[in-house]
Amino acid sequence: MRSETMLILGAGYSGQAVARLLAGKARRIKGTSRSEAGAKALRARGIDGMAMTPEIFSAAALDDIDALLISVPRDDLGDPFARQLVQAGKPARLRWIGYLSTTGVYGDTGGAWVDEAATPNPSNARGHRRLKAESQWLEFGRRHGIATQIFRLPGIYGPGRSALDDVRAGRARRIDKPGQAFSRIHVEDIARSVVASLHRPKGGAIYNVADDLPAPSSEVVAYACELLGVVPPPLIPFAEIEPTLSPMGREFYADNRRVKNERIKRELGVSLAFPTYREGLRGILANGN
């Protein structure tokens, strides 16, 4: 990537982690935000930020781009940026596309392990929209012979966005739903997986980017409390708290699955910096976050 340019559509939390890892390895890293204030914040972080919405996006924005990473909100019709390219020709230099999706496209597996060979079965509208966005970018890549990869992500955490922050803010809850586990991934390991794919592009590839240890959220909160030296909040039975959950919270607890990650290790050679939430939370705390 030393002589190439990457554009990150939606350079938020995960996109900025990729940019940090690529710093010094790419000639230029561009990133978009929905507002000029957001673009200015990106520039302060060393990213060539620009304000861009789907309405003003066009194929011309890809003229000098070698690698495109997409991390933008989807809508009812999939990805609004992809739809702007339906009639576009092949970008002159683009050779790699990565789309940050979600393991939510698998739906509920009753706690069973799921890998990339599983047929997606989203259990909510958000999962269906994300699956539609995946297909739009895969089709664009196939049409133009551009290696396009899908990265399916579970719960994302990292500095400033972890159970440690929830405990400190007094908003951490330990919800007890027996038999339920969630997969998660540290934001730095998302970046490591994306960068590994840049060096080993594989058109049409789908990768689960998850850590090695799915676990109940109550267990993660308890460990964060242990690290901070505070008494963990009491366990609350799910049946008691379910009526107070937001629609998104109900969706979160409706699915129960464990996500396999062997493919990123086997095909991309990824070695997770934070193979479980324990290493992840300890690393965040050690770095003063």
What is the SS3 string spanning 164-216?
HHHHHHCCCCEEECCCCCECEEEHHHHHHHHHHHHHCCCCCCEEECCCCCCEC
Q: Rounded to whole angstroms, how far apart are CA atoms 212 and 184? A: 9
> Residue 201: its pLDDT value, please?
96
pLDDT for residue 1 is more than 80: no
| CATH number of this structure's domain 5-157+184-211+258-273, picked from the four choices 3.40.50.720, 3.40.50.970, 3.90.1150.10, 3.40.190.10 | 3.40.50.720
CB of 94 within 8 A of CB of 66? yes
> Residue 279: its pLDDT value, please?
98
- Listed by start position, the domains of the chain span 5-157+184-211+258-273
The predicted-structure confidence for 192-237, as pLDDT tens digits, reads as follows: 999 999 999 999 999 999 999 999 999 999 999 999 999 999 999 9
The predicted-structure confidence for 106-118, as pLDDT tens digits, reads as follows: 999 999 999 999 9
Helix (H) or strand (E) holding 147: strand 147-153
Alpha-carbon torsion 231, 234, 235, 236, what sign? Answer: negative
Q: Binning pLDDT at 50, 70 and 90, where does residue 3 land?
A: low
CB of 100 within 8 A of CB of 14? yes
Which residues, other chains included, contact 283 with Cβ-Cβ below 8 Å and sequence gap of 6+?
186, 273, 274
Q: Rounded to whole angstroms, how far apart are CA atoms 101 and 14? A: 11
pLDDT for residue 86 is more than 90: no
pTM score, two decimals? 0.96
Which residues, other chains included, contact 61 with Cβ-Cβ below 8 Å and sequence gap of 6+?
7, 52
Which residues, other chains included, contact 41 with Cβ-Cβ below 8 Å and sequence gap of 6+?
33, 49
CA angle 176, 179, 181 (to 5 degrees): 80
Share of the chain above pLDDT 90, in %: 92
pLDDT for residue 31 is more than 90: yes
CB of 209 within 8 A of CB of 98? no
Q: Rounded to whole angstroms, how far apart are CA atoms 274 and 60? A: 39
